[in-house]
A and B are shown apart, each in its own frame.
Chain A
Amino acid sequence: MLDKCGMNEIIVTILGVLGIIFVYWFFLLKKEVKIEASDSIDITVNGGYIPDVISVSKDKTIKLNFIRKDSSSCLEEVVLSDFKIRKYLPLNEKVVVEITPKQTGEFNFTCGMNMFHGKIVVTP
């Protein structure tokens, strides 16, 4: 069917390829912005976690204060499976999650359906 390949098809193909590259860049090549936290940090839950990469020190207790501003049910729970925590986040209310990381490394936190992700980076 390439015989019918006219200008429109070529333009659509080029736009399509550019679109795919854009989607790849936009969603998958997102730069991580790491925020260092010492005692406590506020995490806004609105279309994701802000901030979503939090650097903390090993063996130090830190309070993660989740405040859900997003009414989408997707984000109503936060799960820190490495710390065995699953918490319901009432809308516009501060929910304090206290953790004391015993190991260094990266530990994900996600929404209940595992669609939104954040990361706790534990440094020595």
Chain B
Amino acid sequence: MIDIKKTFSIKGMHCASCVLVIEKSLRGVEGVSGANVNLVTEKATVTYDPDKATDEKLISAVANAGYRAFVEEEVQSEDKERVEKQKELKGLRIRVVVSLGLGLLVLWGGFPALMDTAPAILKNFWFQLILATPVQFWAGWVFYRAAIPALKHRTANMDTLVVIGTSVAYGYSAFVTAFPQIVQRIGIEPMPYFDVATIIIALILLGRYFEAKAKAGTSEAIKKLIGLQAKTARVVRENKEIDIPIIEVVIGDFVRVRPGEKIPVDGIITEGDSSIDESMVTGESMPVDKKSGDTVVGATINKSGSFIFKATKVGQETMLAQIIRLVQEAQGSKAPIQRLADLVSSYFVPVVIMLAITTFVAWYDFGPEPTLLYAILNTVAVLIIACPCAMGLATPTAIMVGTGKGAEHGILIKDAESLEIAHKVGTIIFDKTGTLTKGEPSVTDIVAFNNEKEDNILRYTASLEKFSEHPVAKAIVTFAASLGKTSSHPLDRAIRERAETEKAELFTVNKFKANSGKGLEGEIIINGNSRKFYFGNRALMKDVPVNIGANEVEIQKLEGEGKTVMILASDFELLGIIAVADTVKENARQGVEELKKIGIESVMITGDNLKTAMAIANKVGITRVLAEVLPDEKEAEVKKIQAEGKIVAMVGDGINDAPALVQADVGIAMGTGTDVAIEAADITLINKDLRSVAATIRLSKKTMKTIKLNLFWAFGYNIVLIPVAMGVLYPSFGLLLNPIFASVAMALSSISVVSNSLLLKRYKW
């Protein structure tokens, strides 16, 4: 029998003895093999046989002990956020409706241009007070509730400004209503301004409502990713297929996936084949055919066949979980451009309060009659117009939408800083093998010289290569570093494969040695005689030395075709050559062209000689080539280009060229397999599409443009409108800002910034 494990919430516990009571009660249920209750998390984890114990039985066991169990699926934190948001929006909506309704009535009865048409009761100050009070202290309570605890901790935010502004307007109006004769005595017409207080509250609440709605849209991408996760998996245990929650799938489980189903976790197909749609995770648009031995990614959709795969990564290790984590991290990081906004916003509210006091004093001392009234209204306008929120929202909202948009298309950006730097990139260096080319070279030509047979050339070279794959213990110890690099080289693999298909009989090799970046050497035993062979590039031949002489023409001809030519020599004599060619990726040329269109220079870096490199470069449309660069020299080449004053991005596989990726201002790795978080890279292209390099730069440019526009609005708005609210235009133009219009402008400023960020979503690739 197969037991399953379930975790659920328990309410009503308050001491350690509750834990014991509940555990005892749960263990008493038939089919329960284990129960563990945690007082701190208020959760119980029960292991049970689902055929015997049911949810109802578990709930009633907990109820019998005197507590309540919530056995339904645990609500994810994202859902919790959504539920809370919905509640908040609903509450806001009611407050907006009530405050707008009451506010408009007050406005009708109190606003000079409208009051003539209003019924007499609306013009009654006491009636206005009755209408305005719930708006001020019930609808507006959200502002007080935020401002009061903040004041207790000597901090201030936007709510503080709204509270001070509306309280001043409301307090003055209430005073006028209660003591009109006192106001009259100091020469002011006893006129309340309840309309100002109520309408400001209504409009700011309305603005907040729209802002909250819009803000929810900025984190949509991450919610979508989380939503991709499968809920259950059909695993094969003890020859039976059972559906279990995804959380219970363990590494090594065999999972059955039927047509149209979602693949629950990452793994390797062991039986069957199918076509799989991976677009939701990798952004790759075409379905991929997979067969036994191929890897599958969790959350992708099985299109046609039914298959079984072995789970290799579960929980937080799956590709989807890694992607989610990476995007979450990027959204939590800060773009350098935000620094100024951070600095300003930390002083903003206190400075605005000081400016408001200055406004009051200036209008009271120097303003026209009635000075007190002008002083109050302009002070309220200053407090209300100031909007620190727009500055705080300008950068993060754009970063959230930008990184989310990238993730949707298989572009994973590590942090906001990388996204910011990417828009300044002037030069992009592409690694050749595995980046511009498929990294799957095959042998194209075997040429024998000096009466040597072609077959033998293949046998000798393959013997050396074969040896590099199965090195004896001593060789591993001695040459581990260089050996590893050589034997894993795609060129070596190509030769081995060719030898295997031709079924070439191989020789024994002694004294094998791999020279990093040059080639191999070793003694081959032929008919009992030992003969030393060298196999590699020109640099190795020069070391031996071997004179290439007249055969140079043949070598150059093959190199001119973009093939990598390796030379076999023995006893200082040239025996032959083997040419290997790699295929250029389908979209490599298009990728380079797209970069050219946005004014970015592409450079190719490779260990190949210049001639071979140039031939490949021509195929993809690159004119600047850095050839014959040894693996450990790539980093220095990046530095050289940076020294030219350019911002450099490096595109590689993230494994062999990690130091170069780190050295570059932006390291871009082409994702491989199911590992997405390539440590050395700032940006990982899990869609493996070279056109995404240009798309990344365009996304960065677009995001930065949005951020700059947001900051321009947020700063410009405050810089221009605060002085206007203070009354700087009054002496010359007689212009003053009505506090009601100030609240409209304030509400619009935050909404405009968030909406502008959301426009990034519409950006077409």
User: Which residues of A are interface residues toward B (Cβ below 8 A)?
Assistant: 1-2, 5, 8-9, 12-13, 16-17, 19-20, 23-24, 26-28, 30, 46-48, 50, 52, 70-75, 79-88, 90-91, 93, 110, 112-117
Contacts and interface: CB of A to CB of B under 8 A. Distances in A.
Given A20-B354, A84-B332, A74 B157 contact: yes
Interface stretch (B284-292, B340-348, B473-481, B620-628): B340-348
Contacts of A85: 329, 332
A115 B153 contact: no
B679 interface: no
A66 to B, nearest CB: 13
Interface residues of B, number: 53
Given A24-B354, A115-B157, A73 B208 contact: yes
B146 A74 contact: yes
Given A23-B350, A23-B354, A84-B415, A48 B149 contact: yes
Interface centre among B145, B147, B334 (most CB of A within 10 A): B334
B159 A12 contact: no
Contacts of A86: 328, 331-332, 396
A73 B88 contact: yes
Nearest to A26: B154
Interface stretch (B76-84, B312-320, B421-429, B462-470): B76-84
Contact of A73 (B156, B212, B388, B392): B212
B365 A12 contact: yes
B247 interface: no
Interface in B510-551: none
B358 A9 contact: no
A97 to B, nearest CB: 10
A48 B721 CA distance: 28
Interface in B601-629: none
A81 B334 contact: yes
Contacts of B280: none
Contacts of B349: 27, 115
A67 to B, nearest CB: 13
A31 to B, nearest CB: 9
B240 interface: no
Nearest to B150: A47
Contacts of A12: 360-361, 364-365
Contacts of A47: 146-153, 155
Interface of B: 77, 80-81, 84, 88, 142, 145-159, 208, 212, 328-334, 341-342, 345-347, 349-350, 353-354, 357-358, 360-361, 364-366, 388-389, 391-393, 396, 415
* Chain A, interface SS category: mixed
B146 A90 contact: no
Closest 3 A/B residue pairs (Cβ): A47-B149, A72-B146, A86-B332
Most buried by B among A9, A27, A88: A27
Contacts of A80: 332
Contacts of B329: 84-85
Given A16-B358, A19-B357, A50 B153 contact: yes
Nearest to A49: B153
Nearest to B375: A12
Contact of B396 (A9, A91, A112): A112
Given A73-B88, A79-B334, A86-B396, 7 more contacts: A5-B365, A82-B334, A84-B332, A84-B333, A114-B341, A114-B392, A115-B158
A114 B760 CA distance: 22
Nearest to B40: A94
A20 B358 contact: yes
Contacts of B396: 79, 86, 112, 114
A70 B346 CA distance: 20
A88 B83 CA distance: 13
A48 B147 CA distance: 10
Nearest to B414: A84
The listed residue with most A CB atoms (<10 A of its CB), out of B84, B147, B156, B365, is B365
Contact of B150 (A23, A48, A73): A48
B54 to A, nearest CB: 29
Nearest to A48: B153
A74 B153 contact: no
A9 B366 CA distance: 9
A85 B357 CA distance: 38
Contacts of B212: 73
Nearest to B366: A1
Contact of B365 (A13, A73, A88, A91): A13
A34 B347 CA distance: 21
Nearest to B328: A86
A116 B151 CA distance: 12
A48 B156 CA distance: 9
Contact of A114 (B149, B345, B361): B345
A93 B83 CA distance: 14
Contact of A84 (B157, B330, B360): B330
Contacts of A70: 145-146, 149
Contacts of B159: 72, 74
A31 B257 CA distance: 61
Given A5-B365, A84-B332, A116-B155, A24 B350 contact: yes
15 contacts: A12-B361, A12-B364, A20-B357, A23-B357, A24-B354, A27-B350, A28-B347, A28-B350, A47-B146, A74-B158, A84-B329, A85-B329, A114-B346, A115-B157, A115-B158
A115 B415 contact: no
